[in-house]
Structure 1
Amino acid sequence: MTDPFRERGKGFEAKYEQDEAIRFRVVTRRNKLLGLWVAGQIGLSGKAAEAYAQEMVDHDLVHPAEDSVLAKAQADMTAKGLTISRHRLDLRLAKLLQEAEEQVHGEIAGTPLH
C-alpha cells in the first residue's frame, strides 16, 4: 500500500522539475533573442549574429543574473558607438521574455512558433 502523501509529494516534485526545465528553456530563448537583437543593432548578421546570440546565452550560464546579460548588451552596444538606456533595455528584455514564453509553450504544445 502506498502512502498518498508521499505520492502527492512526488507529484509536486515532478511538477516543480518540469516547471524549472521550462523556465530554463524560456530564459535561454530570451537570451538568444536578446543576442540576436543586439547583433542586429551593432551590425552583425548571419553566422556572426548567431555566434553573438550564443555568446549571450553562454554569458548567462556563467553569470546567471538578469543584470549581467543587460550589462553585456549595453557594454557591447556602447563599444560600437550606440547609446541605449537601461530602461530601453529593460523594456526590450520584457518583450523578448514574452516572445520566448510564447515560442517555448508553442513548441511544447506541438506548434513551433519560430
Structure 2
Amino acid sequence: MNNFNDRTKAFEAKFTQDADLQFKLEAKRNKLIGEWASDVLQKENKEEYVKEVRQSALAKAGDEDIIEKLMKDFASNNQELTRDELLKKINDCEKKAKVELMEQNS
C-alpha cells in the first residue's frame, strides 16, 4: 500500500509541476504577443497595453479571448490582420516562450 501512495504522490507532484509550467508558458507567450501587438499598433504606453492583453487572456479558457481582443484592436486601428496570421504569431510567440523558459530552468 505504501508503494501505491508513493506513486500517487509522485503523480500529483508531476501534475502540479506540469500545470505550473503551462501557466508560466502561457503568461510569457501572452506577454510576447502583447509586446508585438503594442509595437505594431504603436501604442504609447507599451507596458499598460501588454497588461491589458495579458488580462484579456484570463477571461475565458483557451485562446479565444486574446484572439478576440487583438483582432478588435487591430481592426479599430485600421491594421490588417487575418485570424490565420494572428494564430501563426501566437504560435511563434509560444515557441519563443518555451525556449526562454527552458533557458531559465537550465
Short-chain TM bin: over 0.9
Residue 95 of structure 2 is aligned to residue 98 of structure 1 = yes
How many angstroms apart in 1 are the aligned matches of 2:62 and 2:10? 29
TM-score, with length taken from structure 2: 0.93
Q: What residue in structure 2 maps to residue 32 of structure 1? A: 31
AA aligned to 2:20 is A
Residue 78 of structure 2 is aligned to residue 81 of structure 1 = yes
Unaligned runs of 5+ in 2: none
Q: What residue in structure 1 maps to residue 5 of structure 2? A: 6
Cα pair 2:59 2:65 within 8 Å, conserved: no
User: How large is the RMSD of aligned CA atoms in angstroms?
Assistant: 1.2
How far did residue 49 of structure 1 move? 1.0
How far did residue 62 of structure 1 move? 2.5
How far did residue 58 of structure 1 move? 1.1
Question: Cα deviation per residue 1:66-109 (whole Å; 9 max; x = unaligned)?
Answer: 01101111110111110110000010011000001111121122
Percent sequence identity is 24
Unaligned runs of 5+ in 1: 110-114
